[in-house]
Structure 1
Amino acid sequence: MTDFSRRDFFKTAALPVGGLGGLAGPASAAAPATSPPATPAEPVPAPGALRWLDGAAPGLMLGATLGLPWPRGELKKDQDFHALDAQGRPLPLQTWPLAWWPDGSLKWTAHALPAGVDAGAAPRILPGRGEAATGLRVTVREASEYVEVDTGVIRARLPRRGTQLVSGIERDGREILRAATLVAQADDKPDAGQCPVTQTRFDSRIDTLVVEQAGPVRAVVKVDGRHRSAAGREWLPFSVRFYFYAGAESLRVMHSFVFDGDEQKDFLRGIGLRFEVPLRDALHDRHVRFAGEAGGLWAEGVRNLTGLRRDPGAAVREAQLAGRATPPLAQWSKPVRDLHHRIPAWGDYTLSQLGADGFEIRKRTQAGHGWIPAAFGRRAPGSGYIGGASGGVAFGLRDFWQRHPTQLDIRGAIGETAEVTVWMHSPQAPAMDLRFYHDGLGMETHEQELEGLEMTYEDYEKGWGTPVGIARSSEITLWALPATPSRERLVQMAAAVQSPPQLAAHPARYLQAGVFGRLWSLPDRSTPARRRIEDKLDFLFDFYRNEVEQRHWYGFWDYGDIRHTYDADRHEWRYDVGGFAWDNSELSPDLWLWYAWLRSGRADIFRFAEAMVRHTSEVDIYHLGRFQGLGSRHNVQHWGCSAKQARISTSAYRRFYYYLTADERTGDIMREVLSADAKMDEVDPVRKIAGRVDKGPWPARIGFGTDWGSIVANVLTEWERTGDPRWRDKLVRGMKGIAAMPHGFFTGSGGYEPTGPNEGAFHNVSGDRISASHLSAVFGLVEMMAELVELIDLPEFKQAWLQYCELYNAPREEQVRVLGKPHGGSPVLSVGHSRLSAYAAKHKQDPALARRAWREFWADDPRGAKTLKTSRITGPLALNPVDEAPWISTNDTAQWGLAAIQNLALIGDQLTD
């Protein structure tokens, strides 16, 4: 097998609708509606059957992409596919490979359906070439200076260089949108309290443009560049992907930027997407719309004809309110017909959401005149419209109120061209202050830093809590419309922006395919013990979903993360206490959520996990600079901890979302972290620990648990995405190295070669030493080893892994009998480690070991003392009334949840009441 990227695939394969063709390559405000939990009694869905994530077909079909799993050996690399709607009629389909099994058969495929089709409640995607489907196609034309994409409804031109990402979008021969650029504003000081602030504007400058997909159903164009000031300074690198679907009047924009400034001097105040909308209609036939909460809509004319002293006529008023062209002036009442030019026309509008619970709409006639407050609300969905009877643009920013401060601007609506800015960070809000939050507290040496760790759990080191290299991605949808849409349709558009239509397979399909390590099963409440576990799993997720709202875990940099530890005295999470604040994937809540979704199919779990992926893969990981490829441990600030580790950036937490949605941005990030192991000497995660094993003559020393387990996720994902044997060989060298250690995984660490001809190899630098850590297996190691031993047959490695699984929680005397002495690992996460015992029991077919695993699992709560309910705290004990469960911690929740799910799958037959 060779490395065969998506771009190569589309360049070399003539991709027919519905087939892989000639592939020559390797074999919440309120929570969304939930799907009914699956049960073991539920029949296996019909072949190829899909489901809409939110339970029903979307009101607007903007085009949809999903990933589907296939059992090992079932489908060859050149397999064709076809799609059918709910009535069995053929649908246009585009398919491409996402991953392969080791034998070259397809493991994951991605599929795209066009916009505008009635896919119904249950479309199907099946192997084999079906009846040809008719319909629009998206076409891409590449020229030396630009790329042109035509969906059959709209045609967009994207320049290869310059400032404009989109120079124009036409519909029916009329220009609807033009001159789309990125804009940013930065201050040189955090505020003007003591001295004047100098503000600098930056615009986008294109470096490269690449067509990643060219149809026939879906086209993707990626633009990379940097922001540049008038004085020539370039910074804030960005990547923008444009998604076009056949038959669509819209395009999806995925914008990502990386902060690469000086946090002491660069205070980013605003970053957004700006474009122009030509206006051809009379002022009274121009319409402005902003979506409101709960399906509401703020809808006005640029020159309003209602509420006047004189009535223009019912037909005139009704037309303007509906967004239609008004009757000719001759049909208006004479007073209004003669004097309508005396009615003020409003050219500028702003909707600003500066906090999670309040937005404001303001307007003014034009620059140089005062702003008028127009409307107020709580949570705006972040969509708007400007245009008229002859065309206009609707626009929306996903997670608008959740990622406050955000803003929508319309300027110049009384002229020939309106300017729209979709602000991903509002310029009205205080500038971003990314400086570290304390002065070091006198900590200058590692000994002093360890004293700080002892008190606040914060791993501090001067200069390491830097934001340089963190990123954020945002999703914007733009519609090029022939006329002002109805109020009802605009509300549908706003809903589609906030919860994009997502197709998925049924839970039984993922289980049957054998992906993600066979560590989960479908929910089952058939016995009291099983029901007790399932009830607690549901309670814990519902608790965290509600905590996001109750504690307002929202904001530009914060949304998608959860807190680490609770402070029962303050009735508040420890948001300001060192390493107890933001969680940053500590102990794998990401994995818990994704396994919970796989087995249940619940839409609210998927959306929660999706927001976490968007946050943790961007904000908690470094995308450039000194720590590129590593992530930051939990802290008061997401980037604040000096522990920069692969256990946070690991692909183990992101590959679920990538395979389920084929999201290219997530794929980029998983490829970025492939170099993480090359950083582990320069950024040694145990550099402060006394008595640590030296690396010997090798380039680095890394641990077999949190370090190597994270590397395995990165390398294994790249291997299955490309089929390149280089990555398999790297895994095998590591596996053989651990198996050859005197005590296997209990040797703890080894000298390591991250690159070169022997990349991935381990060497013994510990002698006969025995070492274990309670953290080794709780950052994806269990889950990745379960996949690794299935994919690569290396008996000595599997035996070493089974030994670790069986002995970690074993009684002391058993550890001594096998290892010669206790392994020294802490028992604090014994419940989470019960799933290791369960794994060993399953593979050794050992009922006694299975019973031991269940005893370990129940040990922390043998009689259900941790009741599944919350307590209400009111009055002066808390700022706001809160429902709390002080016994809950995120560490315990994530590990208990994973143990519950995996123990049920592995040794559920040994569970007694």
Structure 2
Amino acid sequence: MSKLVWSRREMLAQSLATSAAVSSMALTAGQAKAAPAGAQEPLDSGIAPGDDVVWLDGSAPSAHEGQSWGQPWPRGTRFEKRGYVLEGAGGTREALQTWPMAWWPDGSIKWTGHAAAANGARAGSLRVAPGSARPAQTLSLREAGDAITVTVGQTVWTVGRSGEALIRSANVGSAQVLHSVRLLARAQDRADDEDGAPELTRWTSSIDSATVEQSGPIRAVIKLEGRHRGEASESAGDWMPFCVRLYFHAGSDSVRLVHSMIFDGDPAKRFIRGLGLEGGVPMRGALHDRHVRFAGENGGLWGEAVRPLTGLRRDPGKAFRDAQVAGEAVPPLDQMGTAVRQNIEYIPAWGDFRLRQPNSDGFSIVKRTRPGCGWIDVDTAGRAPGLGYVGSPSGGVAFGMHDFWQRCPVGLDIADAATDTARFTIWYHAPDAPAMDLRFYHEVMGMESYEAQNRGLDVTYEDYEPGWGDASGIARTTEFRIWALPATPPRERLAQMGKGLATPPRLVPNVARVHAAGLFGPWSPIAAGRALRGKIETRAKQELDFYIGQVEQRRWYGFWNYGDVMHSYDNERHVWRYDIGGFAWDNSELSTDMWLWYGFLRSGRADVFRLAEAMTRHTGEVDVYHAGRFKGLGTRHGVQHWADSSKQPRISNAAYRRFYYYLTTDERCGDLMRALVDSDHALKTVDIGRKVLHRAEPLAGTGAVVADQPLPEGQIFMQFGTVWGSLLGAWLTEWERTRDTRWRDRIVAGMRSIAALPKGWLAGGGAFDLASGRFVGGGKDVNMSHLNGVFGVFEITAELLELVDEPAFRKTWLEYCELYNAPEAEFRARTGASGKGRALTQAHSRYTAYAGVQLGKPELVRRAWGEFFGAGDREGRDQSRGAHKVTGAAVLKPVDEIAEVSTNDAAQWGIAATVNLTLIGDALE
């Protein structure tokens, strides 16, 4: 069989042989020059050979709680069963814990996962190399009966297999410092603005299963699954399934908890009033030796004692004041001034403390002595990192939440600090905030019929159908961290811990290594060039900067919102169209997640990584159904993340999650992708093209190709790009993660059957047999839609064609790539049909470029750049202009805006620029 699966190197060689006009069209892995992590400007700098892994923010932190990352490997690399070490400058060698994450088809390793101990990997020039080394620090895990214990240094953590406590206890040496860590949930039966007093119901966590996923020696991972169970005195029933992973690292005093919950209630009856993580802290020692801390903004820290010894009318002595402020045990009381010692019981003891961040711009702290007494205002500030502490010189607990103020309304509680047991609570939805209202945002408005619903779609772009804008089944993932400590840490150490919560130190693979391994389709790092390349790179940076800035300026924060951006802009109001049908929240349209990840890979920028990370967390959880009738499908863009009635695989698309999973080893992201491998079966009961045949003329932009006759049992009508192409990411990832060939076979069955259709890929879709994975009917007519190629199918297919040798599919795919943007006369001559339905010419220039390289046609390369530099895909958008400032009475506050900006345009332009610069960049000048 002739080889038709080309690497980028072979693509370049073929281009050189074909025509000098397209010489050096692609950057090969060996020739690539990359921007280092953290780069902000277009660079042309080499990467030192030893830099396999880098710190995201450009330099090693002063401290960290342990790291894990994914390391890429070129095809043909043998997996080293003996293990790997991390080599650094000066010949240092650190032990790593290693596991395989993905494999190439020939059995060679593609991705490895690695874990480093706390405060490790801080040498310069880090390189992952085969070998072994004795870990400087280790942990151990033991399973016994109904509990799992993890021993890290002098700390022993006990994790429950059943019951309500996720962490039953943590002992430092012989002293217990933590116990009874559990989840809390509260909900009421009506909205806040309804008449009558709402009935409040409470739930706590109930563990159904516990799985040890890793047991050390450097990292241990325990997965707990369960549901929230109503308290015994209430008949609320169980609800909100959860999954919590607990991560322990050698050398760390902390455990990281990655918690995911599914809202599976009736939004008209369940109004969440509080979501939290609670734990108990034994309090030993005198009240004046008990300490409370909250991290403040910009490295600040608020700290007091339960019974303060400073500011009194009588002075206890400098040694006492200094020790209490520092969090140390005060000297013996017989050394204290008599006036204070004899009357110390008259100094009020403050038992309860609260920090509340109701919005992204301000938090407040209050305290009281005990329940039944009034609260006293303490202070306010801007943005809290989300760290608290309660304890004494003989032990205590620090606790916190990542992305704290961004997920507002949130809070931290410390209660009963003046008793034998204090309780802390991390509220990831504060109980004194307004109750969540997840009901659909408007009435039926006369849209009972498909005809009326289509008319509504025409005017607001909202795909509405009564009952389909349902929040039941959506999810949210939150990360917590808990430290078990032998004593109250110094104030500087606590402030540092707060900073680590707000901006976690992170090791990532060098983006140059990802590129050299040939992963994630055609892309290349930023490189210097002449005028046209500079023009492209300038706009690419401006667009990324603009969206990062918009998150802050427009305050796209909140429990359900953080991580998403808006879809389209309203030039007259100078706001994004937050309240207009299908123009509001973006929900991954068109491949925004992918655009950001390529932006990170090309630049190594930490700020781009963190926006992409937040988006991956959001779009994979909030915009996708994890239970119920829509399970496995995502929701199209709308005023609420779940509101639009179009439920699509193109939104739940695993292709958007793969970047984060492989770069970080995030197991939750892996779960989300695995859950999608059979999501095509959801289409048996969810007809995603249900309204199209009820239009006199299909709406431009729907991309709808549907069957006009009922299909046999076990078959569904499936579009190639928006549906089958979106499922490819899940199947490919499962195949390379597990080496289970049934997923490869399912992909190949689809590829071969598409190629066998009379019009091949140009048919747009066909009848799909769920059992075999084959297209079994249709395909006689040409059906073109711009949506069939803008949800990751190009990028996934580019990867597949380097992994799977299917000549017939490659031929029909290249035909589609060549003809999509072809002039109408050529399209009609080649296909015998009209090219109606084609749009997004600029975005599809990457298809033309790909065909030009693969087919060795210089005229396609020239045509591709002409398409890319043409009028653009957003009518009225001046592509040469960046953002401008709007101030005064026209806006609520000064903002940056780009007239006619659209996230569809930004994302697709960015991806097209990435591909074109990679494949045909040297033909620019």
Alignment deviations for residues 732-765 of structure 1 (CA, whole Å, 9 cap, x no partner): 100001111111111111111223xx2x111122
Distance 2:562 2:919 in 1: 34
Question: Are 1:741 and 2:753 counterparts?
Answer: no
Tell me the secondary structure at the aligned position of residue 550 of structure 2: helix
Residue 550 of structure 2 aligns with which residue? 547
Task: Please say if residues 283 and 392 of structure 2, whose CA atoms lie closer than 8 Å, have aligned partners that are also in contact.
Answer: yes
Task: Please say if residues 48 and 124 of structure 1, whose CA atoms lie closer than 8 Å, have aligned partners that are also in contact.
Answer: yes
Residue 771 of structure 1 aligns with which residue? 783
Residue 574 of structure 1 aligns with which residue? 577
Counterpart selection for 2:911 from 895, 898, 905: 898
Task: Please say if residues 847 and 910 of structure 1, whose CA atoms lie closer than 8 Å, have aligned partners that are also in contact.
Answer: no
Residue 789 of structure 1 aligns with which residue? 801
1:34 offset after TM fit, Å? 6.9
Question: Are 1:153 and 2:119 counterparts?
Answer: no
Counterpart selection for 1:850 from 858, 861, 877: 861
Question: Are 1:627 and 2:630 counterparts?
Answer: yes
Task: Please say if residues 564 and 585 of structure 2, whose CA atoms lie closer than 8 Å, have aligned partners that are also in contact.
Answer: yes
Task: Please say if residues 696 and 765 of structure 1, whose CA atoms lie closer than 8 Å, have aligned partners that are also in contact.
Answer: no
Single out whichever of 830-839 and 306-315 deviates more from structure 2. Answer: 306-315
Query: Any runs of at least 4 consecutive aligned residues in structure 1 with deviations exceeding 4 A, and if so which?
Result: 37-41, 861-865
Question: Are 1:116 and 2:128 counterparts?
Answer: no
Alignment CA distance shift 1:725-1:34 (3 Å): closer
Residue 184 of structure 1 aligns with which residue? 185
1:676 offset after TM fit, Å? 1.4
Distance 2:194 2:625 in 1: 32
Q: Residues 452-467 of structure 1 correspond to what in structure 2 (within 5 A)? A: 452-467=456-471
Q: Residues 163-174 of structure 1 correspond to what in structure 2 (within 5 A)? A: 163-174=164-175
Tell me the secondary structure at the aligned position of residue 673 of structure 1: coil
**Which one-letter code corresponds to 1:148 in the other structure?**
T
Task: Please say if residues 154 and 248 of structure 1, whose CA atoms lie closer than 8 Å, have aligned partners that are also in contact.
Answer: no
Alignment deviations for residues 437-486 of structure 1 (CA, whole Å, 9 cap, x no partner): 01111101111110110010000011010011100010001111111111
Tell me the secondary structure at the aligned position of residue 342 of structure 2: helix
Single out whichever of 610-619 and 158-167 deviates more from structure 2. Answer: 158-167
Residue 769 of structure 2 aligns with which residue? 753
Residue 20 of structure 1 aligns with which residue? none
Distance 1:371 1:560 in 2: 35
Question: Are 1:368 and 2:368 counterparts?
Answer: no
Task: Please say if residues 287 and 301 of structure 1, whose CA atoms lie closer than 8 Å, have aligned partners that are also in contact.
Answer: yes
Higher RCO (CA 8 Å, separation ≥ 6 residues): 2
Residue 490 of structure 1 aligns with which residue? 494
Task: Please say if residues 842 and 872 of structure 2, whose CA atoms lie closer than 8 Å, have aligned partners that are also in contact.
Answer: no
Tell me the secondary structure at the aligned position of residue 292 of structure 2: strand
Question: Are 1:129 and 2:131 counterparts?
Answer: yes
1:192 offset after TM fit, Å? 5.8
Distance 1:585 1:798 in 2: 27
Distance 1:246 1:668 in 2: 25
Distance 2:121 2:911 in 1: 38
Q: Residues 180-329 of structure 1 correspond to what in structure 2 (within 5 A)? A: 180-191=181-192, 193-229=194-230, 230=232, 231-232=234-235, 233-329=237-333
What are the ranges of 5 or more consecutive residues in structure 2 without an aligned counterpart?
Answer: 1-35, 694-704
Distance 2:44 2:362 in 1: 46
Distance 2:591 2:121 in 1: 39
**Which one-letter code corresponds to 2:813 in the other structure?**
W
**Which one-letter code corresponds to 1:320 in the other structure?**
Q
1:83 offset after TM fit, Å? 1.8
Tell me the secondary structure at the aligned position of residue 69 of structure 2: strand
Question: Are 1:860 and 2:871 counterparts?
Answer: yes
Tell me the secondary structure at the aligned position of residue 569 of structure 1: coil
**Which one-letter code corresponds to 1:836 in the other structure?**
Y
Counterpart selection for 1:889 from 902, 905, 924: 902
Counterpart selection for 2:891 from 878, 887, 894: 878
Question: Are 1:804 and 2:805 counterparts?
Answer: no
Distance 1:264 1:888 in 2: 36
1:501 offset after TM fit, Å? 1.9
Distance 1:611 1:835 in 2: 27
Residue 663 of structure 2 aligns with which residue? 660
Residue 100 of structure 1 aligns with which residue? 103
**Which one-letter code corresponds to 1:743 in the other structure?**
K
Q: CA RMSD in A?
A: 1.6
Task: Please say if residues 93 and 111 of structure 1, whose CA atoms lie closer than 8 Å, have aligned partners that are also in contact.
Answer: yes
1:48 offset after TM fit, Å? 5.7
**Which one-letter code corresponds to 1:459 in the other structure?**
D
Residue 162 of structure 1 aligns with which residue? 163
Single out whichever of 521-530 and 248-257 deviates more from structure 2. Answer: 521-530
Q: Residues 417-432 of structure 1 correspond to what in structure 2 (within 5 A)? A: 417-432=421-436
1:84 offset after TM fit, Å? 2.4
Residue 500 of structure 1 aligns with which residue? 504
Task: Please say if residues 187 and 274 of structure 2, whose CA atoms lie closer than 8 Å, have aligned partners that are also in contact.
Answer: yes
Single out whichever of 371-380 and 872-881 deviates more from structure 2. Answer: 872-881
Tell me the secondary structure at the aligned position of residue 843 of structure 2: helix
1:129 offset after TM fit, Å? 1.8
Task: Please say if residues 164 and 180 of structure 1, whose CA atoms lie closer than 8 Å, have aligned partners that are also in contact.
Answer: yes
**Which one-letter code corresponds to 1:349 in the other structure?**
F
TM-score, structure 1 length as denominator? 0.94
Task: State percent identity of aligned pairs.
Answer: 51
1:249 offset after TM fit, Å? 0.7
Residue 588 of structure 2 aligns with which residue? 585
**Which one-letter code corresponds to 1:736 in the other structure?**
R
**Which one-letter code corresponds to 1:852 in the other structure?**
R
Task: Please say if residues 42 and 537 of structure 2, whose CA atoms lie closer than 8 Å, have aligned partners that are also in contact.
Answer: no
Tell me the secondary structure at the aligned position of residue 579 of structure 1: helix
Tell me the secondary structure at the aligned position of residue 775 of structure 1: helix
Distance 1:876 1:185 in 2: 42
Alignment deviations for residues 837-871 of structure 1 (CA, whole Å, 9 cap, x no partner): 01111111211110100000011269994344322
Tell me the secondary structure at the aligned position of residue 750 of structure 1: strand
Counterpart selection for 1:692 from 695, 706, 730: 706
Task: Please say if residues 39 and 522 of structure 1, whose CA atoms lie closer than 8 Å, have aligned partners that are also in contact.
Answer: no
Alignment CA distance shift 1:687-1:193 (3 Å): closer
Distance 1:322 1:860 in 2: 64
Alignment CA distance shift 1:683-1:134 (3 Å): closer
Alignment CA distance shift 1:735-1:40 (3 Å): farther
Distance 2:350 2:901 in 1: 53
Residue 22 of structure 1 aligns with which residue? none
TM-score, structure 2 length as denominator? 0.92
Counterpart selection for 2:359 from 338, 355, 373: 355
Counterpart selection for 1:824 from 816, 819, 836: 836
Question: Are 1:618 and 2:632 counterparts?
Answer: no
Tell me the secondary structure at the aligned position of residue 623 of structure 1: coil
1:684 offset after TM fit, Å? 2.2
Distance 1:508 1:345 in 2: 57
Distance 1:539 1:366 in 2: 53
1:339 offset after TM fit, Å? 1.2
Task: Please say if residues 623 and 634 of structure 2, whose CA atoms lie closer than 8 Å, have aligned partners that are also in contact.
Answer: yes
1:39 offset after TM fit, Å? 7.0
Distance 1:287 1:36 in 2: 42
Distance 1:108 1:251 in 2: 25
Counterpart selection for 2:87 from 84, 89, 94: 84
Distance 1:581 1:901 in 2: 26
Distance 1:193 1:692 in 2: 44
Distance 2:82 2:392 in 1: 47
Task: Please say if residues 650 and 726 of structure 2, whose CA atoms lie closer than 8 Å, have aligned partners that are also in contact.
Answer: yes
Task: Please say if residues 38 and 507 of structure 1, whose CA atoms lie closer than 8 Å, have aligned partners that are also in contact.
Answer: no
Q: Residues 137-148 of structure 1 correspond to what in structure 2 (within 5 A)? A: 137-148=138-149
Alignment deviations for residues 228-265 of structure 1 (CA, whole Å, 9 cap, x no partner): 11235100111111000112111101111000111111
1:689 offset after TM fit, Å? 0.7
Distance 1:749 1:764 in 2: 9
Alignment deviations for residues 116-171 of structure 1 (CA, whole Å, 9 cap, x no partner): 33633443211x224x2242211111012111111123111112111111110011
**Which one-letter code corresponds to 1:82 in the other structure?**
V
1:594 offset after TM fit, Å? 0.5
Task: Please say if residues 52 and 122 of structure 1, whose CA atoms lie closer than 8 Å, have aligned partners that are also in contact.
Answer: no
Question: Are 1:643 and 2:634 counterparts?
Answer: no
Counterpart selection for 1:67 from 46, 67, 70: 70
